[in-house]
């Protein structure tokens, strides 16, 4: 095991109380059995039920062919959809809840490292469980027959380890995305990765280069949102660097600066961990991504002065540009991406404890993020403070007091908000129509120029945000 990943014994139920099984899943199970077929609950529901955790959607595995499954469901009055019949999957819908129902199968070769070239339908559920990725996902349960656990998944839940079913290299060779899935499960469950599985995982990590980037993005979102991304950076660096190649340049990258005590990777891991504390455990996805990417541009901007000190001039801009590319490749939604990039771009912007300085920053944050309402912008600005605090405590000891200074900045921002502070043209006490009427300006770009001039004057504190003062200012200006 790697440092910090020693498993601890966990209390795991010896059996699952049948009363915990959701009615919509049981309806599918009973429909199949009424038609003479065998059926089990499998996958994540079984794993989480043993852990006493809220369960995911139910998946059912059955000896029935997809055609037989469809007939059995229809006979029971259950809606059925042919969602993956080439792999034996029919999706049942009971009370609006989907239940994937799949024929027992074994998979052929995975020449594309994603899909089996062929599947063979079988009659023994144990053969189906043997093709699954990790032992904790390779259990089946039935309300009368109980738990079926041929690979020791329950024991691994108690140990707190992620272990491949069978030969780890074979599992990762079938689908390289399982490399990231292993890390995601370890992060989500707070588990370690079993040593043989870990060695095979590191060997297979480069194969992520051949996996569709949107699939990589989906797994990375799970890792980032687990709140344990710092653990992944430190303990699964090879995987994280394969998923986001720019991270590969950060380990061992000495910053050669009196402001930093750690290399770029450890600094980033500390920032990623810090936001979980400063945000009180309720952390948005955009803030987690911003913490991960905030210094991604540093290696590209590194210079050394005549005294041997390292500098990273322009790294927030470079990091924002790189983040746009990374997030687009990973198919992160554009709206979310804009907010992440805005945080990355502005995380190091100098800011004084003055209303004009803070208003300029929040105005730029609002513009870059694309957020429309004041409440949304205010929330994002508070997340900016948390990002800056985390950045400060991850630097050299003499820089960490800035995290406390930011409390004063945030108090000032709260007062600005409470007093109706103006940071967008929509906050101005005048409209485009007022400008055209008072200044005799025709509709066109000049109206926007006038409003921007008015906003700049209000932010700088030169003109109060009231209608008469602004119209007087604009008349003089034009």
pLDDT at 108: 62
Give 380-415 pLDDT, tens digit per residue: 999 999 999 999 999 999 999 999 999 999 999 999
Confidence of residue 130 (pLDDT cuts 50, 70, 90): very high
436 Cβ contact list (under 8 Å, min separation 6): 442, 443, 447
Confidence of residue 280 (pLDDT cuts 50, 70, 90): confident
pLDDT of residue 370 exceeding 80, the answer is yes
Q: Which two tokens stand for residue 413?
A: 């921002």
pLDDT of residue 1 exceeding 90, the answer is no
360 Cβ contact list (under 8 Å, min separation 6): 459
pLDDT of residue 119 exceeding 90, the answer is no
pLDDT at 14: 86
Give 411-430 pLDDT, tens digit per residue: 999 999 999 999 999 999 99
pLDDT at 126: 96
Architecture of the CATH domain 425-477: Orthogonal Bundle (1.10)
Domain ranges in the chain? 18-159, 168-219, 244-418, 425-477
**Alpha-helical runs (H) found in 330-431:** 334-346, 355-369, 374-393, 402-418
Strand locations in 46-133 (E): 59-62, 79-84, 89-94, 97-103, 105-107, 119-121
Yes or no: domain 18-159 corresponds to CATH 1.20.1250.20: no
Percent of the chain clearing pLDDT 90 (strictly above): 87
**Alpha-helical runs (H) found in 94-235:** 125-129, 153-159, 168-174, 177-189, 195-204, 213-225, 229-235
Residue 424 region, left (φ>0) first, then alpha (ψ -120 to 50), else beta?
Answer: beta
pLDDT of residue 213 exceeding 50, the answer is yes
Tell me if residue 439 falls in helix, strand or coil.
helix
Residue 65 region, left (φ>0) first, then alpha (ψ -120 to 50), else beta?
Answer: beta
User: pTM for this one?
Assistant: 0.92
Rounded Cα distance between 359 and 424, Å, is 9
Q: Beta strand pairing status for 140-142 and 146-148?
A: antiparallel
pLDDT at 215: 96
Percent of the chain clearing pLDDT 70 (strictly above): 95
Residue 167, CA atoms < 13 Å, CB-side half-sphere: 4
Q: Tell me which of 310 and 111 has the higher pLDDT.
A: 310
Say if CB 439 and CB 469 are below 8 A apart.
no
């Amino acid at each position: 095991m790697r440092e910090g990943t020693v498993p601890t014994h966990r209390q795991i139920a010896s059996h699952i109380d049948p009363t915990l099984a959701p009615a919509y899943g049981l309806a599918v199970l009973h429909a199949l059995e009424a038609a003479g077929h065998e059926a089990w609950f499998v996958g994540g529901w079984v794993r989480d039920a043993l852990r006493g955790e809220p369960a995911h959607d139910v998946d059912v595995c059955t000896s029935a062919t997809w055609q037989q499954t469809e007939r059995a469901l229809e006979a029971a009055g259950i809606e059925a959809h042919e969602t993956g019949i080439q792999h034996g999957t029919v999706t049942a819908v009971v009370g609006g809840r989907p239940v994937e129902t799949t024929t027992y199968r074994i998979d052929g070769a995975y020449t594309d490292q994603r899909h089996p070239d062929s599947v063979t339908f079988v009659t023994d559920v144990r053969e189906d469980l043997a093709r699954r990725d990790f032992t904790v996902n390779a259990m089946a349960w039935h309300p009368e027959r109980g738990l079926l656990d041929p690979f020791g998944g329950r024991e691994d839940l108690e140990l707190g380890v992620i272990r491949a079913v069978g030969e780890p290299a074979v599992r990762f060779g079938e689908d390289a995305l399982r490399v990231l899935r292993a890390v995601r499960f370890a992060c989500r469950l707070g588990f370690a990765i079993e040593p043989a599985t870990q060695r095979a995982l590191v060997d297979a990590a480069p194969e992520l280069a051949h996996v569709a980037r949107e699939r990589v993005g989906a797994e990375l979102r799970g890792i980032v949102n687990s709140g344990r991304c710092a653990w992944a950076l430190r303990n699964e660096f090879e995987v994280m660097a394969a998923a986001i190649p720019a991270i590969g340049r950060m380990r061992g990258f000495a910053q050669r600066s009196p402001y930093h005590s750690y290399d770029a990777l450890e600094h980033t891991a500390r920032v990623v961990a810090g936001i979980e504390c400063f945000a009180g455990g309720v952390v948005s996805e955009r803030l987690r991504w911003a913490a991960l990417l905030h210094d991604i541009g540093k290696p590209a901007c590194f210079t050394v002065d005549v005294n041997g000190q390292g500098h990273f001039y322009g790294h927030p801009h470079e990091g924002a540009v790189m983040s746009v590319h990374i997030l687009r490749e990973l198919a992160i939604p554009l709206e979310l991406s804009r907010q992440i990039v805005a945080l990355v771009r502005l995380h190091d912007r100098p800011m004084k404890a003055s209303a004009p300085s803070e208003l300029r920053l929040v105005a730029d944050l609002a513009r870059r993020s694309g957020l429309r309402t004041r409440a949304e912008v205010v929330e994002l600005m508070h997340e900016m403070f948390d990002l800056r605090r985390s950045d400060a405590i991850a630097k050299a000891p003499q820089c960490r007091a800035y995290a406390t200074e930011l409390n004063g900045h945030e108090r000032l921002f709260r007062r600005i908000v409470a007093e109706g502070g103006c940071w967008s043209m929509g906050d101005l006490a005048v409209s485009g129509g007022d400008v055209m009427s008072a200044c005799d300006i025709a509709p066109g770009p000049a109206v926007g120029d006038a409003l921007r001039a008015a906003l700049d004057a209000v932010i700088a504190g030169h003109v109060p945000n009231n209608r008469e003062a602004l119209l007087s200012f604009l008349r003089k200006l034009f």
